[in-house]
Amino acid sequence: MPPAPPTNVNEALRAIPSKTAELDETWRFLELGVDHLMKNYDKGLAYTAYTNLYTAVYNYCTSTKMHARIDTHRTGANLVGAELYNELCQYFVNYFHSMLEEASSRTDEDLLRYYSNEWKRYTTGVNYLNRVFTYLNRYWVKRERDEGKKSVFPVYTLALAQWKEHFFMPIQRANNKLTTATLRLITQQRNGEAIDHDLVKKVVDSFVSLGLDSSDMDKETLDVYKEQFEAAFIAATEEYYKKESKTFLAENSVADYLKKAEDRLREEEDRVERYLHTKTRKELINKCEHVLVRDHAELMWDSFQSLLDFDQDEDLQRLYSLLSRIPEGLEPLRTRFEAHVKQAGLSAISKLVGEDGANMDSLDPKAYVDALLAVHQKNSEIVNRSFKGEAGFAASLDKACREFINRNAATGSSSTKSPELIAKHADMLLRKNNKMAEEDDLEGALNRVMVLFKYLEDKDVFQTFYSTKLSKRLIHGVSASDESEASMISKLKEACGFEYTTKLQRMFTDMSLSKDLTDSFKERMSQNHDDMDINFSIMVLGTNFWPLSPPSHNFVIPVEILPTYNHFQKYYQSKHAGRKLTWLWNYSKNELRTNYLNQKYILMTSAYQMAVLVQYNNNDTLSLTELVAATEISKEILTQVLAVLVKAKILINEETEQYDLNPSFKSKKIRVNLNLPIKAEVKQESAEVLKLVDEDRKYVIQATIVRIMKARKKMKNQPLIQEVVSQISKFSPTIPDIKKAIETLLEKEYIERVEGEKDTFNYVA
């Protein structure tokens, strides 16, 4: 309730017109109170006067004298109110005359401030007035609206409608004065000037309040706001930013423009929060994005490479943030990013290999892996930091990495080189006394290997090289630890499934069984009192699980170890009748003790080196021909075996193909390691691995075709080939290889051609 007004108004409103009073008398009484509430509400009104106004409305609406004027066709309570309603309408019309004259002489901020003050006075007064006419609203107005007269409003809504028609629209018809003045203030703010935000908000809020839905007064309608303000505001915004962005780009760099555009978009978001209707946000921001981003997208795309080249992370973040606002904004960046990463990878390996592949033969697997990882890590950080890990950029990174990791200056046309080098690097990590493992966290290093493994197309090549290297680590006992080996196998299993690591895990089982077998063999020999002259341990490895091949040449077992050999052969056959042992002398190792020198040395040798050296138990000098005859090792390999012994100065080769035992051999170490890999073995290993891969692929393709045909029963050639390609993930099968596999299966009668149908096959059960 407003505070008490001057006594004369309260006195004048003390005597209420009688229930039988005419309209003129009643309205004169009410008009005094209405005028006071509308113009001097801040001076208040006594509670009694306020109550008397309400009572006067009630008395008139329920007056028995008025009954004769009521439409006799209506049912329900006898109510009148049209006359009061019409008087109130006319009051509002008269109320605006002086205001319009005052407004016509004002412009810009002065007009807005006058309009805002009058709007506040008017709406506050009408709030009080609405309570005075509560009875009229609740009964007469309600009944009129219920009967379909949607042009009749409650008093407060009526007041807004009158404001709109008799004050707001006349001002607007004069060159949209209110809108123009409001937009001018907003432009001043965009130009960096300080403005009265509250003033703009009050004016804009009035635009919203004037939206009236005659059929549903509770429904918010923005027709006035949109027609009289929003449309012009959006158009002015577009014009402003078109001009500004064009001028700014003519004088500044794209990087500077990115900051400007980012700031402007943030300002417009803030503008909505401060004084615009929330539903303007979408159209406003869309328009700003169109003008500030889409219209200059070509320039932004063209600047992308420079930002990447100079590692301008903040600008890249801005570029991504801005272009992500438009549907087509990011795809050109993704394409450029993919090309950038690919080129970075290719360049890194080209530097490593040198011009014309000068460093190809001595290429270090660690250096190769480090170069690949450096490119991946740098660009992965860019994706996560500058592009917020967005899926499209992550896919571009993956595509680029898959390309340069599998095909680069080091691989040439070979698809097997990268898997081989990465597998060799993993082998070095997992070996004892590995400096890399000491300097770096081994688990972290293995995780980085898996990063590259993910991109390998020929995962079966990696698998075969890895299993070959693992077999040698286990045979020679040089693994860093069982835990590290198990960790790597676990990572491979997670990446490729259980089947991928089955053979690797079986190798560890064989190692455990071999230890038990060696212990039981020694125990048997002890029980039989057949004490062996030499310390002996054996590894019995399953043919299907170990990627090992026996030597392609014969090997004469030296007499020094022949008894132990025969004892074990006999013992093993007694335990496993029917099994055949194939001895892999090329993987065996030995320790020999020297007795011909003053200093006793222990020579750690391969089986081939041992076979050569024991020949000198009875000879001081032997020719190459004699050694070949005595050992039956191929001349090519034996020559390299002898070269290692000569280099270690165990043997002397002063004459062509003549090798003498060195009687003056000396070494700083008591244990001398002679068991070094020879080129023939290294070369043979790679050839054998690739041969194994080729054979395995044939079986995988054939098995896949049979599995598909068993499920489908009947298929045409082309769909069958496509299905085979989609199902094989360990490598990328070639079309010729698939066709060869189909021909093989036709010969083996797993499938057959369908008569009368071209290139169609049936499954043969």
Whichever domain contains 618, its CATH number is 3.30.230.130
Same domain, 334 and 462: yes
What pLDDT is stored for residue 65 in this prediction? 54
14-50, pLDDT tens digit by residue?
889 988 889 999 999 999 999 999 988 888 788 999 9
Same domain, 655 and 720: no
Residues of the domain holding 695: 683-763
CB 222 within 8 A of CB 208: yes
- Quote the pTM value: 0.81
Q: Alpha-carbon distance 15 to 306, whole Å?
A: 86
Same domain, 392 and 346: yes
What pLDDT is stored for residue 77 in this prediction? 42
Same domain, 62 and 98: yes
Sheet holding 714-716, edge to edge: 714-716, 760-763, 751-753
CA neighbours within 13 Å on the CB side: how many for 509? 9
Average pLDDT for 276-289: 97
What pLDDT is stored for residue 75 in this prediction? 43
Q: CA-CA distances (angstroms) from residue 40 to 34, 44, 96, 120, 417?
A: 10, 7, 16, 13, 93
**Of 283, 302, 321, the domain-final residue:** 302
CB 166 within 8 A of CB 92: yes
Q: Alpha-carbon distance 718 to 742, whole Å?
A: 12
What pLDDT is stored for residue 756 in this prediction? 86
Same domain, 741 and 661: no
Lowest mean pLDDT among 65-79, 519-533, 692-706: 65-79
Query: Which residue matches tokens 């027609």?
Result: 227
Same domain, 24 and 151: yes
Contacts of 144 (CB under 8 A, 6+ apart): 152
What pLDDT is stored for residue 309 in this prediction? 95
How many CB atoms are closer than 10 A to CB 372? 27
Residue 547 lies in a domain: no
What pLDDT is stored for residue 212 in this prediction? 87
Same domain, 18 and 82: yes
What pLDDT is stored for residue 7 in this prediction? 57
Residue 190 lies in a domain: no
Same domain, 20 and 144: yes
- Asked if pLDDT for residue 174 goes beyond 90, the answer is no
Average pLDDT for 626-634: 94
What pLDDT is stored for residue 73 in this prediction? 46
- Asked if pLDDT for residue 742 goes beyond 90, the answer is yes
Average pLDDT for 138-154: 93
- Asked if pLDDT for residue 605 goes beyond 60, the answer is yes
- Asked if pLDDT for residue 234 goes beyond 70, the answer is yes
Q: Which residue has the higher pLDDT, 534 or 640?
A: 640
What pLDDT is stored for residue 523 in this prediction? 87
Average pLDDT for 257-286: 97
Q: CA-CA distances (angstroms) from residue 13 to 5, 55, 58?
A: 11, 11, 15
Share of the chain above pLDDT 70, in %: 95
What pLDDT is stored for residue 70 in this prediction? 46
Q: Helix, strand, or coil here: 602?
A: strand
What pLDDT is stored for residue 40 in this prediction? 87
Residue 282 lies in a domain: yes
Lowest mean pLDDT among 146-150, 391-395, 546-550, 598-602: 546-550
Q: Which two tokens stand for residue 265?
A: 């978009």
- Asked if pLDDT for residue 704 goes beyond 50, the answer is yes
Same domain, 654 and 687: no
What pLDDT is stored for residue 535 in this prediction? 82
Contacts of 295 (CB under 8 A, 6+ apart): 242, 245
**R_g of the chain, CA atoms, integer Å:** 48
Q: Helix, strand, or coil here: 45?
A: coil
Contacts of 574 (CB under 8 A, 6+ apart): none
Residue 657 lies in a domain: yes
Contacts of 95 (CB under 8 A, 6+ apart): 38
- Asked if pLDDT for residue 361 goes beyond 80, the answer is no
- Asked if pLDDT for residue 9 goes beyond 90, the answer is no
- Asked if pLDDT for residue 1 goes beyond 70, the answer is no
Residue 527 lies in a domain: no
The pLDDT confidence band at residue 360, using thresholds 50, 70 and 90, is confident
In sequence order, what are the beta bridge partners of 605? 590
Q: Alpha-carbon distance 48 to 7, whole Å?
A: 12
- Asked if pLDDT for residue 66 goes beyond 90, the answer is no
What pLDDT is stored for residue 78 in this prediction? 45
- Asked if pLDDT for residue 344 goes beyond 50, the answer is yes
The CATH code of the domain that includes 743 is 1.10.10.10
- Average predicted confidence (pLDDT) for the chain: 91
The phi, psi pair for 215, rounded to 5°, reads -85, -25
88 CB-contact burial (10 Å; exposed 0-12 / middle 13-18 / buried 19+): buried
Residue 268 lies in a domain: yes
- Asked if pLDDT for residue 71 goes beyond 90, the answer is no
Same domain, 475 and 594: no
290-322, pLDDT tens digit by residue?
999 999 999 999 999 999 999 999 999 999 999
Same domain, 646 and 697: no
- Asked if pLDDT for residue 256 goes beyond 80, the answer is yes
Same domain, 242 and 350: no
What pLDDT is stored for residue 328 in this prediction? 94
The pLDDT confidence band at residue 273, using thresholds 50, 70 and 90, is very high
The phi, psi pair for 653, rounded to 5°, reads -125, 80
Average pLDDT for 480-508: 94
Helices (H) and strands (E) in the chain, counts: 34, 9
Count of domains observed in the chain: 5
Average pLDDT for 330-349: 97
Closest CA to 681 of 631, 626, 644, 632: 644
**Of 275, 302, 329, the domain-final residue:** 302
What pLDDT is stored for residue 72 in this prediction? 43
Query: Which residue matches tokens 């993910």?
Result: 454
Residue 180 lies in a domain: no
Residue 391 lies in a domain: yes
Lowest mean pLDDT among 95-104, 451-460, 677-686: 677-686
